[in-house]
Structure formats: C-alpha cells, structure tokens
Structure 1
C-alpha cells in the first residue's frame, strides 16, 4: 500500500450514525447504513459504502460497494452467517421494506446480492426487528411495520395496531411473529411456536446462547418493557424468564450481546421516561439474576447503537445517539466503545503491555525482533492500535 494512502486511512473515522447495521468477523468490525443529522434534516448514510474497523490495529477503512446495492435505510436487521452479512427489512425513503440482501465480507469486492426466495413468502414489511443465527438459518422476531387489513383480521393476536397509522388498506403496528430464512434453500418458513409468546414489540434487543434465543425489552404503543423471554430453537417453545433479582428499567433501542455460554450483556437504550441510558448489566441465565456492570462510559449514553461480541469476551459498541431522537436528533455518534467483560488472558495482557510501552522503553523496543514472526505481527497490530492520535500529536506540538 502507498505510504501516503496508508496514513490517510489511519486518520479515517466512520461517519456518525444511528439505526445502522454492524457485524464482527475475524477481528474486523463491518458497519453499513443508518442515518445522521445535517442541520434540521435526517440524511441516510450512502448505501454504496461499507466501513471496516480493525479491532486489533485500531484503523478504519471505507470501501465502495457494487452489485444489487440496497436502498439507503435505517432500522434494518443484520447478521453474519457463513462469512456473509445479511440484511432484512428496514425503513427507506418509501417506508418499511421486506427485501433481503447479502454481501461476502471476505473477498474484498463487497458486491451486494439481492435474495429472491424460491419457496415461501417474506414477512410483511417492517423495521426495528431482531434476529438470531442458528443451525445455518436466520430466525427473525418482531418489529414495526404494515399489513393489509385481511392479514390483521386473521392474525390479530400477533399484531397490535398503531391506531393513528393507516393509509387506505394498509395498517401499521407491532408484531411478535417468528420467521425463519434458510439461505441454502432460499426459503421462508414460519414455525408453529408453543408456550406463551412475548407481546408484540419493536426496538427490542436479542441474542442467542446455544440453542436458545433471548429477547429483552422493546416498545409497544407507549410502553417500553423490561421483560425477558426465551425461545428454544429445538422445540420452538417460548418461556418467560422471571429474574430472581432487581431488573434494569424498561427500555427500547438498547442492545444485548452474548459474552459467555450462559450470560449476556445489556447496554444503553431509551427508558420509559424517555431518558437516554448509559447503564450496563449482565444477566446469568443459570441463576436468573441481573448484575449491574461498572464501566468507564457512564457519561456516554447511547440508543439505537450496535453492539458486537469480539475476542476475549469484549463487547464493541459503535455509533448510536446520545439524544432522545424523537425530540432532539443531533447527537449521533461515531466512536467505538469497548467493554471488557471478563479478565483478559495472559497473552492479551502481555501484548497490550508491550504495545502501550514500546515507544517509551528502549529495551523493550530493542527486543521486539526476538519475537516469533506471528507473535511479532500480532504485537505490531496492537502497537498501531495504541499509536498517538492526531489530536494527541497536535496537543503535544502546538502550532
């Protein structure tokens, strides 16, 4: 790579945004879509760009996308399966959609493909839904969108009307439907679930642990809930989990992230009293107890952000808003917050120590060539991560 271009890339930072999609694959964070505010206008992020952040080296790059490029939109549901990023639903300039697209994240070409099902029908148009990946399939739940009157009449238990929102034969509202997409067969199915399902909702959060999918919170009408529900992917049975401890307050536009085989991490969101939240919580599915998690980002509330699991149980939060976006929509963010949930392994501790101190300790710097090649390469990426920022350089060398 040309050195001048490499320096340019090192100073790149992804645009601020909310309602975007983000996934992690091989220590790289991929970010697409969402919207930002310019003056009094809400502007979608360009649809033909994908931002890639090296979680170990601390550098952003942006790439041009081609192919069947999706519309610019927010509120789409994204996930990573077989090294492809899939997106479904979302809201564009024409309203909610039920289109699906995928892009290979490994070939460096970033060519979008629009997926047309061979069997079954896609769910009705919706946004602010969630999904789980299990057994090579994508399982979608909930969201806010529109249906024709006939579908509402037949399935009113799965759909709550947003009373003021209707146009001719289309009615908007919240649903609690479960839909499965099989990328290999390119087919949609709707399983027969058992047990008592969660109430319809949108802007909730979900994560998967083993063969179970969990959801927490979300909004329906004017209520933001704090309930936990679990869906068993083998028996398709819903179970509500009643915590044996005090619980986080009800919220929407928050995130859940699996951090172990039995626990997940909750961060941020918008509370019932419309307060942007910055609290973090851990839930243990075995003890059924919540524990508030202390972290250094208490002054950084976030809602409609993304959160991805990284190596060593770290959670990477990107973007989102620090405002109540339905009233004040100017606080979109573009920083990445890394939450260390568990103690790091010894190799990671040593790697970070070297990276943080190599510039000031000459002896340490002189011993770097003694490291095995693969270890040296890993350490050099971490050194790049801890490099002084442009802002720090300017403060140390004022003009």
Structure 2
C-alpha cells in the first residue's frame, strides 16, 4: 500500500475506470484539532485494484483555470460515460461568514488525461444549484443525456414541487427532473407523468438500462423515505415500486445503490449502507427485482458498518461484481468521517445472489482475490416474518 492514502471524508465522488478507483472532493476532519476542511477537486486519489496501491494525481484544466470545478465543494454527484466523468452540483459552506454556494455547473473529467473541462450549455435554461441530488446517464447511443433528479438547494422555478427549509425559506428540497443532452449541450426540463416522488435529497438514482433508472429512499429534512420508483425516459413516466409486506425497504438516506443483472433474477438493485433510524450494524443487503417490482432482504457473508454519504463505485469482472466503498460518516452531530475502505464481491453467474466480502482499513493492504463462499446468500421468503 502506498503511503499516500487519502484523507477520510464524506460527500465526495468515487468512480471506477480500468481497474482503478478515482475519488476527489468531499469534506474531512483534522484528527488533531477537529477542524473541518475541504478536499480539493484537483487532487485525484487513485486506488490501483491490481496492485492495491494508492497514488495521488493532479488534475489540470483543459484550457483555462475556469474549466476546473470550485476547489472547495462537497455533495456533488459524478457519473461515468465513455471514460469521461461528468460532475454536476454540490455546495460550498463557509465556516467564517455562513456563505453557502450551490453550484449549477457541469464539469467533465477526462478519465485518461485527468483534464477538467467546464461544459457550458448552449442556452440559458439551467436547473438551480443543488446538492445531494440524483444523477445518471440514459439514452440511446449517440443521444445520451444526464438525468438529474431532486436534491437540496436554491428555490426551483414555478411548476416544480418545492419544500422550503424552515430556517432559510429560499432553499429546500425539490423533485424536478432535468435532462442535459451531451450531444447538443442543452438543458431540457422534463414534464413527468405517473407517480411522482416527493421532493427529497440524499436519495440514490441509478441507471437500469438505456431507458430506465431506479430511485430509492432519501430525506426531506423531517423523515427518511422507504420508497422506490422507476423512471422511464421514453415516456417521462414515474412508476412506484410497491414494497408492502414483511420486506419493505428500510428508511434510508445517503445510501448506495448498484444495479446488476443477476442470473435467474434479471436486473436488480442492490441497496447497501446509508443513514437509518437507528444506524445499526447490519448483515443484509436489500434487493429490488426491477422486472417484478419486488423487494427482498439478502444475507451477506459478514456484518457491515452503516455509513452515510460515502461514495461507492462498482466494477464487473468475469460475472463478478465488486462494490467499493470509501469513507462516509455515521455521526450526524459532528459529521466526523469514518476511516473505511470496504470491498464487497458478488457472484452474478449462479442463480440467486452469492456474496463474498472483505473489509480493510484505508491504510491496510487490499486484496481482490477473496476466498469463494461455498453457499449462496439466502433470499428470504417474502411471506416470512422479520
């Protein structure tokens, strides 16, 4: 392991490209003084998953300094498309004067050269600045778009459902949906039909295929949601996933959702970690079968500590799915980050879901050659009592 392990943090971005995990941004705490500080967006921390070594690389601006994101930002969202990482939103909080800046700009990081480019829309219509929103890439090849949903930030235009924050009524939670065409470089406000989700932030919004995405959980400041919705790009329609019964979704915010195609089950959303009502240590994942709209609990090979606002990315290799989690927090009073790097391994080629997991500190060696688990995880009968 390299000696340049990154600072523990929360509210950062992490993605996986070519056997590497890249992460940047977020907020951290100095252990000696308890002082909070921002992790710069121009320092890209790289974990080589083959050698288990960390390295730090400096991102550069493609043309001018304005091409790089604000150096102090957290709660932004990043997604990978064609080896490029698109980042939208985030917030800067000044501890000196209480200033809060909610960002509404898009930046693209070249996954090969680590060059930042500011994507400037060709028209004036843009979503309002926000943090802890959802974002994914949908659309047919050559006509892909970023789809942004919800978040917390400045007041949205008329026609959107907006819940103001009682302390600062000019900011709050929204449920609007915006599309950004990567080809035309324009923002398009979506007019959605169906069962629209309530305004929220800290939810997950994950692509299922080129036309669908699944939204799970989140918070509106007064409650944690335990609902799920499927968004269809072609019809701009929301369909609620009804999870009534003994295996309802846990109320969650700041969690991780990864969609995988599992043999015998089809496209499925694997939901892990996040803020809950009790933040208990758990030994199960939540699994939503997209095609049948059913929710199950799935036992894991070991217990795992819940953290919220961590960054999780996934990597597939030979029908095996690796989920990598870095950082996060489970202390919502001091927001102290957790020094944690967690690697979960799922076997997708056998019927059901088989998991093997290994956990290591951010300063300890990592191995992806984990021992195989001889027994598949049990998918609980939905008629069983919890």
Which blocks of at least 5 consecutive residues in structure 2 are unaligned? 62-66, 94-99, 351-364, 370-386
CA distance in 1, matches of 2:185, 2:43: 26
Shift of 1:324: 2.5
Contact preservation (8 Å) 2:13, 2:24: yes
- Pick the aligned partner of 2:292 from 264, 287, 291: 287
Answering whether residue 301 of structure 2 is matched by residue 302 of structure 1, we say no
Which blocks of at least 5 consecutive residues in structure 1 are unaligned? 1-8, 346-382, 388-399
After superposition, residues 82-161 of structure 1 pair within 5 angstroms as 82-93=82-93, 94-107=100-113, 110-135=114-139, 136-147=144-155, 151=157, 154-155=158-159, 157-161=160-164
Contact preservation (8 Å) 1:77, 1:130: yes
After superposition, residues 1-399 of structure 1 pair within 5 angstroms as 10-38=2-30, 39-67=33-61, 68-71=67-70, 72-93=72-93, 94-107=100-113, 110-135=114-139, 136-147=144-155, 151=157, 154-155=158-159, 157-166=160-169, 171-210=170-209, 211-243=211-243, 245=245, 246-260=247-261, 261-273=266-278, 275=279, 278=282, 279-296=284-301, 298-311=303-316, 312-321=320-329, 323-325=330-332, 327-333=333-339, 335-342=340-347, 385=367
Shift of 1:225: 0.6
Contact preservation (8 Å) 2:85, 2:109: yes
CA distance in 2, matches of 1:63, 1:331: 22
Find runs of 4+ consecutive structure 1 residues off by over 4 angstroms.
Answer: 276-279, 383-387
CA distance in 2, matches of 1:343, 1:102: 31
Shift of 1:244: 5.6
1:342/1:19 CA distance change after superposition, 3 Å: same
Q: What TM-score do you get using the length of structure 2 for normalisation?
A: 0.79
Count of residues in correspondence between the two structures: 327
CA distance in 1, matches of 2:124, 2:286: 39
1:111/1:131 CA distance change after superposition, 3 Å: same
Contact preservation (8 Å) 1:277, 1:303: no
| Cα distance per residue 1:336-395 (max 9 Å; x no partner) | 2121222579xxxxxxxxxxxxxxxxxxxxxxxxxxxxxxxxxxxxx99479xxxxxxxx
What SS does the corresponding residue of 2:303 show, helix, strand or coil? coil
Partner residue, 2:378: none
The structure with the greater share of residues assigned to helix is: 1
What SS does the corresponding residue of 1:121 show, helix, strand or coil? coil
1:256/1:277 CA distance change after superposition, 3 Å: farther
Which deviates further from its counterpart, 191-200 or 237-246?
237-246
